[in-house]
Structure 1
Amino acid sequence: MSERAAPGPVTWTAPTPVGLPARPGVSFPRVLRAELGKALTLPSTRWGALVAVLVHAAVACTVAYNARYGAEPPALLGLLTLGLVATQLPVLVLGVLVSAAEYPGGAARSTFLAVPRRLPVLAAQALVAAGLAALVAVAALVVTFLAVLPFRADVAMGLDATDPQTQRILGGLVLYVVAVALLGVALGTLARTPAAGLVAGVGLVFLLERLAPLVGTPWLVAALPGWAGRLVVAPDAGAAAQAAEAGVALTPWAGLGVMAAWALVLLSAAAVRLRRSDV
């Protein structure tokens, strides 16, 4: 009678999970896509972008139309940047809404429950606002150029794209609009309500520069983001005259640097508030 061989040890292998992410948590690309989707679904975002482009073009068209009654035709480069003062308000609103629209209704709790670290949300909102603002600025330039074409008989249409001043003014306009949107994101996060963020933004970008000369300190405007940042869209002679009138030695790129510093400081403050406070 033959002996039966003893069975070998039985091994058990756990099934490999299928469809689970390699790392736990929500990845930054997913946060970025979510914030972009939320921004694009806001009706106020779409309307704000449209208003910014149309206002920019409307200001240039008004000046071009009235140029037939003037002695000297306006330059195309000046018309392309003339509406920036009005255009920056809708862009500021866009930045504030991207970061603050979720707080009043409590939807921000769901966002931070999905992304507990919170800072990726702020970074995604800043990137979304910057990208949308850049698109708005480029669209405003293109639409304004097309809108001015019917008045080309009364406008000096010459534009040298290889001129460093022209490149600085057009590129600086896009960068300035992006900086305005980032200021809006930071102020919206700090205020946590769209109305308060917008009031703070209007005061910082518009009102303070008008109050500084009234208190006998015209040089103070050089430290404000709106006045300093808009030097980048001024011609060389105009920027030098504005700086001399304020009593400061500020170049156009240095003025944009002042505005970038404001955006960086306020975004850092927004990040600290986001990490240390409740929703």
Structure 2
Amino acid sequence: MTTLTVTGPSLPRVIAAEWTKLLGLRSSTIVVVVTAAVSGLVTYLSANASSGDPGFDPLDSLTTGLPVAVIGPLVLGVLVGTGEFSTGMFRSTFAAVPRRLPVLVAQVVVTTALALLAAVLAVAAAVVGILPPASSRGITPDLLSEGTPQSLLGAGGFLVGAALFGLAAGALLRRTLPALLATIVVTLVLPVVLLLASELASDPLAASASNTVPTRTAVVNTIITFTPTGAGSLLTEPSSSGVDGAPNIGALGAALVLAAWVFVPLGAAALRLRRRDLV
């Protein structure tokens, strides 16, 4: 007697279904548009504010909008990761795809695709944002100058990585608000709090006199280097020698750190999806 094993639809069909659901959400379009708009606006304001400086270089402002623009991809990823559970659709989804993991894989694929679109538009908006201040000084930005292409690619990679980090956290926690809080705290709040705490606790005069980096500062800078924001900063600054007291992991190390922030919670989410009830 032959036993039939129900495996559900093929992966391409699951990806197509997830893509349809993602594009059907008005919030997806809003996130992409707002991310690009914020990137361009903040970059313009930064470049315009520094355009009066004698050594003004518009290329220095290219990535100034990233710390704010990254919120959009984070939100996008979280919404995708928690969408099935916040709406209750997971019951019908996993009834149709009983193996479950193809759904998570499909969500990774569609999130990467939409985040890549948002990243390309955000980087393009940043380039457009530096043009008016550069023109006011008679400067023509050279986007092919040393380090600039890698900086632009790094900015795009950071935004895509942030979206996947949001997806991983959302898929693991399954609740929109906790996932949003967790990703925003880790990405935006934690580095700022650590820097403020380090500055308040350090004695700049003593550090200047000894010409060494205080241990507390070195520890804080090391921790920040291994946060998503620290890794993203190194991705956009290919010629950077790192932060004082922290190991210089370079662009490749930064990419690995950002990948770890994605794949560790994503792996935990996959394990939970396979081994635990959908509650």
State the alpha-carbon separation in 2 of the partners of residues 276 and 28 from structure 1: 20
Deviations 1:57-77 (A, max 9, x none): 00111123334433332323x
Specify the alignment match of 2:74 in structure 1. 92
Distance 1:73 1:212, change over 3 A: closer
Deviation at 1:112, TM superposition (A): 0.8
Question: Aligned letter for 1:232?
Answer: L
Partners of 2:102 and 2:138 in 1: how far apart?
47
* Count of paired positions: 251
- Cα distance in 2 for partners of 1:111, 1:104 equals 13
Structure 2 residue aligned with 1:229: 232
In 2: Cα distance, 1:86 partner to 1:158 partner: 23
Counterparts of 1:206 and 1:116, CA distance in 2: 37
Partner of 2:45: 62
TM-score for both structures, normalised by structure 1: 0.83
79 and 210 in structure 1: CA distance in 2 versus 1, 3 angstrom threshold: closer
Going from structure 1 to structure 2, the CA distance change for 1:211 and 1:66 (only over 3 Å counts) comes to: closer
Do the aligned residues in 2 keep the contact of 1:75 with 1:155 (CA within 8 Å)? no
Corresponding letter in the other structure for 1:204:
V
Instruction: Map 1:92-111; keep pairs closer than 5 Å.
Output: 92-111=74-93
Conserved 8 A contact 1:74-1:155: no
**Paired residue type of 1:33:** A
1: CA distance, partners of 2:73 / 2:138: 28
1:188 paired to 2:191: no
- Measured after TM superposition, the shift of residue 175 of structure 1 is 1.3
Match of 1:124 in 2: 106
2:11 aligned with 1:28, yes or no? yes
Q: Percent identity over the alignment?
A: 34
C-alpha change, 1:208 and 1:124, in structure 2 (3 Å) is same
| Equivalent residue for 1:82, pick from 64, 82, 91 | 64
Deviations 1:219-268, CA, capped at 9 Å, x for gaps? 222222221232110251xx21xx24143232122112111122111111
Amino acid at match of 1:94: L
Question: Cα distance, 1:212 vs. partner?
Answer: 3.8
- The answer (yes or no) to whether the contact 1:179–1:259 under 8 Å persists in 2 is yes
Q: How far apart, in 2, do the equivalents of 1:155 and 1:133 lie?
A: 34
Post-superposition CA distance 1:193-217 (Å, at most 9, x none): 1111111101111222234453733
- Counterpart pick for 1:136 among 102, 118, 129: 118
Shift of 1:101: 1.7
Report runs of 4+ in structure 1 exceeding 4 Å deviation.
Answer: none
Structure 2 CA distance for aligned equivalents of residues 212 and 143 of structure 1? 31
The higher radius of gyration belongs to 1
For 1:253 and 1:155, the matched residues in 2 are separated by 36
Distance across 2 between alignment mates of 1:62 and 1:278: 49
How big is each residue's C-alpha offset from its partner over 1:109-129, in whole Å with a ceiling of 9 and x where there is no partner? 111111111111111111111
Any conservation in 1 of the 2:7–2:98 contact (CA below 8 Å)? no
- SS of 1:245's equivalent in the other structure is coil
**1:162 Cα deviation after fit:** 6.4
Whether the aligned pair in 2 keeps the contact of 1:64 and 1:155 (CA below 8 Å) is no
| 1:184 to 1:158, Cα distance in 2 relative to 1, 3 A | same
Instruction: Look up the equivalent residue of 2:266 and give its one-letter code.
Output: L
